[in-house]
Amino acid sequence: MAITLPQKQPEGDRPGITPLEIIKRDMPEMEGKALAAQVNGEVWDLTRSLPPRYGQLKILTFEDEGGREAYRHTAAHVLAQAVKRLFPGTKLGIGPAIKDGFYYDFDSPHKFTPEDLEKIEEEMYRIIEADYPLIREEIDRQEAMELFEKLGEDYKVELIRELPPDVPISIYRQGEFLDLCAGPHLPSTGYLKVIKLTNIAGAYWRGKETNPMLQRIYGTAFPEEKDLKEYLERLEEAKRRDHRRLGAQLGLFSLQEEGPGFPFFHPKGMVIRNELEKFWREEHIKAGYQEIRTPILLHRSLWERSGHWEHYRENMYFTLIDDVEYAIKPMNCPGAMLVYKWEQHSYRDLPIRLAEMGLVHRHEKSGVLHGLMRVRAFTQDDAHIFMLPSQVTQEIIGVIELIDRFYKLFGFNYHVELSTRPEKAMGSPEIWELATGALKEALEVKGLPYQINEGEGAFYGPKIDFHLEDSLGRTWQCGTIQLDFLMPEKFDLYYIGEDGQKHRPVMLHRVVFGSIERFIGILIEHYAGAFPVWLAPVQVKILPITDQQHHYAFTLRDRLREEGIRVEVNNRNEKIGYKIRSAQLEQVPYMLIVGAKEEAQGTVAVRERRAGDLGAWSLDQFIDKIKKEIAQRK
């Protein structure tokens, strides 16, 4: 973990001393483990000279985010150096550290192949063995332009041109290689121990479809071989759980050429979806919400009033009706505000909680579409709460508690992030400060630790995001709470106060699942397709041993259906062992095996998909057991 050194610079430290020199002098046991330093909150190279009276100094290892980023950012530079050596004429894009690894984008006349990755890796290890120091230099803008123009690095020249005038320009050198980079980096390439290049993908320069398509090489890096092994095992497990593969295998949904980004839900997938919506409705009724439904197509003027026309238009779809422009809704909130505005409200009516399973459409670029996780049409489990200023904290707490109940049911841990005013935002800084303070207060009342994301709020208000952790330790952003003082003003919403005058309500936007489609994708991977009984598309499979038990099997099926249990009979002409394996591959929670003995005794042999054989049961006993599991949503 990060080690904090004394707050004040020791009197004996000479001007320009580096964190690495301090480590060698005062903490020799940290040599090799220390990867970067945090100086007054900013992550620095260990070899960078400290400023006078540097204040707080922390030494970062691989366990710290800043240390990991420096480690993997250096690996990205080593990758770029190896590619430039092996494939002359390649131009550099960008190469950042990312979660669990790094990548670098290249514009190369050579088309990279999986076989190339092995050669590049070998060259990377030669660069690591050479132990080149990473040397940081700050240069002026003109010198940087001339340097990268001479090298033919057009993409770097473009980046330099667009840097703000007050941003210092730094480059890093290692051996014959240099790159435009803000850093930080490791002291030398020899600090890297274990690297692995994982895959190749296409990526538009700076994410714009109008820009050139570059080749992106992904990789990862760890201090020890065992860490890499664990990571690769997690990757393999993630592939096994891939919701696209399991969705097709289990017959839940499909993605088809006729509708890119528009998923098709099949009968078994609809079972899961309907069960989730049923649970959602039950919990919202208990929490005092009223359900509404608003139109998918609404007039352009509405989106101009809401601000979406100015701030979100590039993500919207449009059509003409009677030569008038309409937009397909990308969000549900304007419709909810029109419902609120339809009738007059008193302060006694508030809070009013309007919930909607609203289908929205957003234009996503084809390159980012990914199964159910990134689509162009999805259903948000939206709600908009209209309240008095005095009710804000309590309503936010109520939403936090609702979200907590949902996530605990599915076995998710989660963490919370608070996002503040973005650069492109509606409203005054004072309004934003008031809204952000209210969200902070609710989180602190609940005792929830949270991370602040500066500048990442929605254009109309700050937000709390809930990030789920699945069974593989991956995180997914799902639930959101957004506080909004601005939309009620833009839509002229009001309530009649105790004084008989008009007052503005405060508005809260929130989702729990986030998107039903995405949440189902997360659940498929979280459970690896083995859904709990209440969610399972088929809860029971009846497996007759011979044709003679078919009549008994269908009699059992009819009884189970009467009890509201989802059941199928496998009456194919197959051996019982094959039928059992087939049901297990389908992830059916319970199998009822029936032969001549069971038919004669009026019983069933119960088999559970994980525990195996549970012995002979009467049908009534089994019905009682499974109905309790379903009712309790175990």
The pLDDT value recorded for residue 230 is 93
478 is catalytic: no
Query: Among 77, 333, 482, 526, which one carries the catalytic annotation?
Result: 333
Yes or no: domain 3-61 corresponds to CATH 3.40.50: no
* Rounded Cα gap, residues 534 and 147, in angstroms: 64
Residue 564 pLDDT greater than 90, yes or no:
yes
DSSP 346: B
Four-way CATH pick for 540-632: 3.40.50.10140, 3.90.1150.10, 3.40.50.300, 3.40.50.800:
3.40.50.800
Q: What is the overall mean pLDDT for the chain?
A: 91
* Residue 245 identity (one-letter amino acid): R
The pLDDT value recorded for residue 4 is 55
181 is catalytic: no
The pLDDT value recorded for residue 587 is 95
Query: Among 329, 509, 526, 609, which one carries the catalytic annotation?
Result: 509
pLDDT band for 11, please (50, 70, 90 cuts). Answer: very low
Q: What angle do CA 279, 284, 288 make, to 5 degrees?
A: 155
- For residue 383, give the 3-state DSSP assignment: strand
* Rounded Cα gap, residues 330 and 367, in angstroms: 20
If one counts every other C-beta atom within 10 angstroms of the C-beta of residue 502, the result is 12
424 is catalytic: no
Query: CATH code for 71-127+139-239?
Result: 3.30.980.10
Counting Cβ atoms within 10 Å, is residue 210 exposed (0-12), middle (13-18) or buried (19+)? Answer: exposed
Four-way CATH pick for 267-527: 3.40.190.100, 3.30.930.10, 3.40.190.80, 3.40.50.300:
3.30.930.10
Instruction: Judge whether 30 and 57 are in contact, CB under 8 Å.
Output: no
The pLDDT value recorded for residue 266 is 97
Q: What angle do CA 567, 568, 572 make, to 5 degrees?
A: 165
Structural domain spans, the chain: 3-61, 71-127+139-239, 267-527, 540-632
* Rounded Cα gap, residues 329 and 335, in angstroms: 9
pLDDT digits (tens, 9 = 90+) for 277-315: 999 999 999 999 999 999 999 999 999 998 888 888 889
Region 2-19 average pLDDT = 58
333 is catalytic: yes
Please state the φ and ψ torsions of residue 456, each to the nearest 5 degrees: -110, 10
Counting Cβ atoms within 10 Å, is residue 266 exposed (0-12), middle (13-18) or buried (19+)? Answer: middle
pLDDT digits (tens, 9 = 90+) for 479-523: 999 888 788 988 999 999 999 999 999 999 999 999 999 999 999
> Distances from the Cα of 34 to the Cαs of 137, 194, 294, 315, in angstroms?
22, 16, 56, 44
Residue 96 pLDDT greater than 50, yes or no:
yes
Region 352-357 average pLDDT = 97
**The residue to which tokens 């109309």 are assigned:** 460
Closest Cα partner for 509 from 530, 489, 479? 479
Q: Strand 169-174 and strand 135-139: pairing?
A: antiparallel
Instruction: Judge whether 155 and 91 are in contact, CB under 8 Å.
Output: yes
Query: Among 84, 196, 273, 384, which one carries the catalytic annotation?
Result: 384
Half-sphere exposure of 70 (CA within 13 A, CB side): 30
If one counts every other C-beta atom within 10 angstroms of the C-beta of residue 31, the result is 11
pLDDT digits (tens, 9 = 90+) for 208-235: 878 899 999 999 999 999 999 999 999 8
- For residue 546, give the 3-state DSSP assignment: coil
pLDDT digits (tens, 9 = 90+) for 603-615: 999 999 999 999 9
Query: Among 9, 215, 380, 482, which one carries the catalytic annotation?
Result: 380
pLDDT band for 578, please (50, 70, 90 cuts). Answer: very high
Q: Which of 29-38, 153-162, 423-432 has the highest mean pLDDT?
A: 153-162
pLDDT digits (tens, 9 = 90+) for 246-256: 999 999 999 99
The pLDDT value recorded for residue 84 is 96
DSSP 49: P
Query: Among 463, 510, 518, 579, which one carries the catalytic annotation?
Result: 463
Residue 16 pLDDT greater than 90, yes or no:
no
Joined together, the tokens standing for residue 44 give 């620095």
Region 182-201 average pLDDT = 94
Instruction: Judge whether 171 and 139 are in contact, CB under 8 Å.
Output: yes
Joined together, the tokens standing for residue 318 give 């449009």
**The residue to which tokens 């009822």 are assigned:** 592
β-partners of residue 218 are: 103, 199
For the CA atoms of 151, 153, 158, 162, the dihedral, rounded to the nearest 10 degrees, stands at -60
Region 178-206 average pLDDT = 93
Closest Cα partner for 512 from 379, 360, 333? 379
492 is catalytic: no
**The residue to which tokens 């759980």 are assigned:** 241
pLDDT band for 173, please (50, 70, 90 cuts). Answer: very high
